Amino acid sequence: MASMEGTVALVTGATGGLGKAVATGLAREGALVAVVGRSAARAEEAMADIRSLVPGALLEPLACDLSDQSSIRAAAGGFLARHDSLHVLVNAAGVFRKERHITADGLELTFATNVMAYFVLSNLLQDALKNAATAGPRTSRIVNIASRYGNTKLDFDDLQTAHGTYSYLRSTPPTMLARVLLTQEFAERLSGSGVVANAVHPGLVKNTSLLQDVGGPFRWVTNTFGAPAEKAADTPLWLATAPETASVSGKLWAKRKELPTPGMGSDPEARHRLWDACAQLTRMP
Ligand SMILES: NC(=O)c1ccc[n+]([C@@H]2O[C@H](COP(=O)([O-])OP(=O)(O)OC[C@H]3O[C@@H](n4cnc5c(N)ncnc54)[C@H](OP(=O)(O)O)[C@@H]3O)[C@@H](O)[C@H]2O)c1
């Protein structure tokens, strides 16, 4: 892993599981890490855990409810008031919910957190990512946690699982494919700017909070056969820091190997369509 001293990273989902392990790894390499938590208290708790593993870690809390676009804008604004450069953005926050919930923005919660938050935050921070690349010797990196076990296609008429009976098996897998498609689109739009974007399939990650709401056999399988978060953090950290991943972009990775993109991942029209749908829901360009 390359030294990250003098760099700034921002990690969502840094209060639990995989995100916290990635934040810990970045702090260990010397990056200043903005630890995003749904509240300042959650972020401070995670910072204490990280400091117990990495004494002297450079950390700052960033309170943000990622299901709420006004909260994302406020958090991004607060971050940008302190930093004009961002070297690494890791989007790791996510939910897996049994029941359908509607957010303050009127969006279905799983779609809002798992897809829209990636879209909105990455857009709001893209200039800071470009600044870091322009000012320094390294490319800036966006690393999006996703999964290869998502759907192979999206239902563009029902991105928010509004039709039919809601279930986590209907709402969540499409969001994993959506993360891959958004990663590809960011990679293309940021091409030549010094910012690369890649997605990671972490495999099953055991003993995280993700499946607390659903329980049952799915949780048992994950906790029995999954990898610890520290191990699953290896590929995201490699993509975020290694010299050999400085210029790869728009790919899906697992265990430091490139994976074929699932289904619609080979259809540029699909990612353009998803981008437009997200942009419409945020009124962003
Ligand atoms: N575990 C797996 O087997 C697996 C497999 C494939 C992909 N993934 C993906 O890996 C990522 C990390 O999952 P994990 O297993 O480490 O789960 P986790 O421990 O539940 O971590 C999810 C993180 O997201 C945060 N989060 C959720 N909603 C948020 C919101 N509205 N605002 C701010 N933060 C929010 C959680 O904070 P709180 O604790 O405050 O809720 C938590 O820190 C997720 O994106 C997931 O989709 C996981």
For the segment 216-239, the average pLDDT, to the nearest whole number, is 94
Task: Band the pLDDT of 185: cuts 50, 70, 90.
Answer: very high
Position 280, amino acid: Q
**Which range has the worst mean pLDDT, 17-26, 131-140, 182-191?**
131-140
- CA-to-CA distance for 233 and 140, rounded, in angstroms? 18
- CA-to-CA distance for 24 and 176, rounded, in angstroms? 24
Mutating to test ligand 1, I would choose from 204, 210, 218, 253 the residue with most ligand atoms within 8 A of its C-beta, which is 210
**Which range has the worst mean pLDDT, 38-47, 159-168, 184-193?**
159-168
283 versus 258: the higher-pLDDT residue is 258
What lies within 8 Å, CB to CB, of 271 at 6+ separation is 181, 182, 184, 185, 264
Average per-residue pLDDT for the chain? 95
Q: Residues 33, 3, 85, 124: is their CA dihedral positive or negative?
A: negative
Torsion-angle region of residue 163: left (phi > 0), alpha (psi -120 to 50) or beta? beta
Do you know the residue count of the chain? Answer: 285
Task: Band the pLDDT of 135: cuts 50, 70, 90.
Answer: very high
For the segment 178-205, the average pLDDT, to the nearest whole number, is 97
Percent of the chain with pLDDT over 70: 98
CB under 6 Å to ligand 1: residues?
A: 13, 15-19, 38, 42, 64-67, 92-95, 113, 145, 147, 202, 204-205, 208-210, 222, 226, 229
- In the CATH scheme, what architecture does the domain 8-282 have? 3-Layer(aba) Sandwich (3.40)
CA-nearest residue for atom 5, ligand 1, is 204
Q: Where are the domains of the chain?
A: 8-282
Mutating to test ligand 1, I would choose from 205, 213, 222 the residue with most ligand atoms within 8 A of its C-beta, which is 205
Mutating to test ligand 1, I would choose from 10, 11, 12, 18 the residue with most ligand atoms within 8 A of its C-beta, which is 18
Burial of residue 81 (CB within 10 Å: 0-12, 13-18, 19+) is exposed
240 versus 215: the higher-pLDDT residue is 240
For the segment 18-33, the average pLDDT, to the nearest whole number, is 98
Q: Ligand 1 mean position to 209 CA, how many Å?
A: 7
- pLDDT of residue 110 exceeding 80, the answer is yes
Q: Do 123 and 195 touch, CB atoms closer than 8 A? A: no
Burial of residue 99 (CB within 10 Å: 0-12, 13-18, 19+) is exposed
Task: Band the pLDDT of 136: cuts 50, 70, 90.
Answer: confident
> What pLDDT shows up at residue 263?
86
**Per residue in 231-273, pLDDT tens?**
999 999 999 999 999 999 999 999 999 999 888 888 999 999 9
Task: Band the pLDDT of 285: cuts 50, 70, 90.
Answer: very low
> What pLDDT shows up at residue 208?
92
Q: Ligand 1 mean position to 83 CA, how many Å?
A: 25
- CA-to-CA distance for 148 and 177, rounded, in angstroms? 7
HEC-encoded secondary structure of the chain: CCCCCCCEEEECCCCCHHHHHHHHHHHHCCCEEEEEECCHHHHHHHHHHHHHHCCCCCEEEEECCCCCHHHHHHHHHHHHHHCCCCCEEEECCCCCCCCCCECCCCCEHHHHHHHHHHHHHHHHHHHHHHHHHHHCCCCEEEEEECCCCCCCCCCCCCCCCCCCCCCHHHHHHHHHHHHHHHHHHHHHHCCCCCEEEEEECCCCECCCCCCCCCCHHHHHHHHHHCECHHHHCHHHHHHHHCHHHCCCCCCEEECCEEECCCHHHHCHHHHHHHHHHHHHHHCCC
CA–chain centroid gap for 216, Å, is 26
Q: What values do phi and psi take at 67, rounded to 5?
A: -90, 0
**Per residue in 52-97, pLDDT tens?**
999 999 999 999 999 999 999 999 999 999 999 999 999 999 999 9
CA–chain centroid gap for 140, Å, is 15
> What pLDDT shows up at residue 25?
98
CA-nearest residue for atom 23, ligand 1, is 13
